[in-house]
Amino acid sequence: MGVTVTKRGRMPKFNAQGIAREIQRFAPGAIVERVGRGLDVKGQPFAGYSARYRRQLKRMGEDPKVDLRLSGGLMNSVKARDATLRADSVEVVIAPDTGTSPQYRAPSERRAYRQASLAEGRFAERGVARTLTKAEGRAFAKSLKYETAGARRIDTGRRSPPHNIVGYWLHFGTPTMRARPWMGLDPKQEAYLLKRIAEIMWK
């Protein structure tokens, strides 16, 4: 059986630029919004934080909700990074950047005591011979006051690993941290994007 196809008028053209723009417009914000609601790429709640980390968050006055955000640096860096347009396909890279964020810690009364004891190696040892000097006592009192001044984040002065590395660890997990897959669209978000692409695919 023969089939004859006759071209009449202008054939539609694959709208690669339009598709790329729609992905760039929708995907980064959709990912960050979903993560902010504590949901992974399957639309399921993230694995909870450890009890120790939840206590740290409480001492920092932070919500223990799992939203992968403390400084906000990682989520704020999620952007469309690159787009490859072909005659019949589009590839858009959505990823965090390679920047870093401040590292924070929780206040810790124990830290003040540890600093004082390690200063001269006295209180950490058995058979303590003498107490702190006046200067050391003043330093200890200042440190203790600082560590017990209330729930807040304390800047350690250090920087995090690059955001893209932190994002990878969070997504796939590490030997000491459970995986929390976050980089991608959940089924509902993906269905919405595919619907939008279908509407603009040809021009």
For 65-84, how does the pLDDT look when each residue is reduced to its tens digit (9 = 90+)?
Answer: 999 999 999 999 999 999 99
Residues 164 and 114 in one domain: no
Residues 130 and 162 in one domain: no
How distant, in Å, are the alpha carbons of 14, 82, 103, 125, 194 from that of 198? 11, 22, 43, 71, 6
Residues 62 and 124 in one domain: no
Residues 76 and 139 in one domain: no
Confidence (pLDDT) at 96: 97
Confidence (pLDDT) at 135: 84
Residues 140 and 173 in one domain: no
Residues 118 and 72 in one domain: no
Residues 37 and 115 in one domain: no
For 2-39, how does the pLDDT look when each residue is reduced to its tens digit (9 = 90+)?
Answer: 444 444 556 678 899 999 999 999 999 999 999 999 99
Q: How far apart are CA 121 and CA 127, in angstroms?
A: 11
Residue-number span of the structural domain to which 124 is assigned: 108-149
The CA-to-CA distance between both ends of the chain, in Å, stands at: 32
For 112-123, how does the pLDDT look when each residue is reduced to its tens digit (9 = 90+)?
Answer: 877 776 555 555
Global pTM reads 0.80
Residues 135 and 187 in one domain: no
Q: How far is CA 11 from the centre of its chain?
A: 45
